[in-house]
A and B are shown apart, each in its own frame.
Chain A
């Protein structure tokens, strides 16, 4: 298997999907000659033409609404929203339309669209270009929410998202685009709603989403020298959520850390924590659950402030020590 970047994996999945299915088309701002804000659609307009790789005006509401209308009438649009923050501009079409139509119409219409979008901080682009708002989407019945954390998952899950008959939010973290991984050359799909055990361990479970998965894996290596064995669970899809894999792991390790880059308050980590707390396993936990998440502040531009606004490697290592009882709470 060759090694490619996360960005190339996404580009490849889009390329293959366009080749496989006439109904698939791409639309979004600057996705043509420019190749997309981050380069994910590079070369695709040249290959598939301006009809199927369609540049749009700066009109997030219209792009999303057009994707809804096209999806309802037999097409499979894959739209790019340059920065996930801009979802707020398209919120009606996503939340009131795309997510509701299948239910409101008692299954008589489907909305098979994919909204690909770049999320997360770490680029110094400040409060309107750095948010992790996936929690919002996970709160809306009718939407599926995917957060791939490596190149292999990105390609397989994007294929699955495009084949799915529902509106799917596909969150790509900006800092992951340049990361590399082993990716098969042929098309493949990974199941939506199945968590991945990224690392096996027996002492502590870290349930991490998005870029925090990679930080959790690094932290696990660091504490390994102290003899702490960390299991890292990547839900991969927030909706539908694979509760079973999470609970099975926690039942084994009896210690839990939940880590998200998104703001901690009212966030997805609370959902995972609650699922554990509501299960019988909570009675057997050896330490209180630790939740790591973004600071409750808009994302600052300045580098040091920005890095302090999200959990970093040191806070994960510290949390591991905490749940192992090595530091007093």
Chain B
């Protein structure tokens, strides 16, 4: 058993202040890349997870470093929570050679295997079987690693979801499928795209446990993921978790948000922002004062701004880099 998981289970599962800092890092990282994009300094695309920080930190944030995550293209939170270097992430977004993928991946493919980040994916639902494969690898190698696979609600309609859950179940693989149900697959409301109340019910068809939770409640997310992790580590097989959440921003940079009401969005922002909810909790229990929190936020803002300034000076890939890494070196 992982001692860290044991310890945090007795308390808050994850240190509240640390979690808050991580969540702010994620949010500020995304606010800054959005600003960079608006200023014309960032090329490409991005899918922001503002409003979904609790599933990142309560999920990837509680794993061991050698556990794996498989992410989606709404990935920045997952990557940061798993320990991917923020400087390298900024560099990747800004097309620098110092980026996580040396500029070859961009926002949608950020990976960092050294910290257990198996990578983000531009294809909706593609991560389900890949996560099963990584879990199979852990099982066959006799390690006690687990794999946490993130996906969106829309991805549960892909065939790969159903194939992978079945595979994970028959082989009892140490994998946790965490569905971030942010209510929309691009512009399509989940209510119109599936005819069941809970996506977690789909687990039943494969003989695995399915749970629906409040995805904006950090403690609930981390507790549920932690239980699933413990079960997976002990040979108990996969779990499907549906975390209800909401993305404050559009699907991607070009989204005009024509498919949802301002009122709906406002409700989630005002009453159900995972960061503000954690802040109130920490203030209520007397762990932090409002002033402490604003100081935390300010410090992170400054740190990240300094990072961006320094990343801007990094070199870009050379034309020769176009041709490298198409194939891996021949011999083992």
Contact = CB atoms under 8 A, between A and B. Distances in A.
A75 interface: yes
Contacts of B327: 102, 142, 144, 166
Contact of A57 (B101, B138, B163): B163
Given A65-B128, A92-B126, A73 B160 contact: no
Interface string A130-148: 0000000000011010000
Given A61-B129, A65-B164, A105 B109 contact: yes
A71 interface: yes
A92 B123 CA distance: 8
B332 interface: yes
Contacts, number: 154
A56 interface: yes
Interface in A16-64: 25, 51, 56-57, 59, 61-64
A106 B147 CA distance: 22
A165 interface: yes
Give the size category of A's interface with B. Answer: 35 or more
Interface in A65-81: 65-75, 77
A253 interface: no
A121 interface: no
A96 interface: yes
B105 A64 contact: no
A101 B133 contact: no
A57 B129 CA distance: 13
A63 B166 CA distance: 11
Interface residues of B, number: 47
Given A70-B137, A163-B331, A109 B132 contact: no
A75 B140 CA distance: 9
A271 B132 CA distance: 38
Interface stretch (B17-25, B111-119, B225-233, B281-289): B111-119
B77 to A, nearest CB: 20
B322 to A, nearest CB: 10
A110 B331 CA distance: 12
Interface string B194-222: 00000000000000000000000000000
A74 B145 CA distance: 13
Given A69-B136, A73-B68, A96 B131 contact: no
Contacts of A107: 324-325, 328
Contacts of B131: 69
Interface of B: 68, 70, 101-105, 109, 111-113, 118-119, 121-123, 126, 128-138, 140-141, 147, 159-160, 163-164, 166-167, 170, 324-332
24 contacts: A25-B140, A57-B166, A57-B170, A61-B129, A62-B167, A65-B132, A66-B132, A70-B137, A70-B140, A72-B113, A72-B118, A72-B133, A73-B138, A74-B141, A92-B160, A93-B130, A102-B328, A106-B102, A106-B104, A106-B325, A107-B324, A107-B325, A109-B118, A166-B327
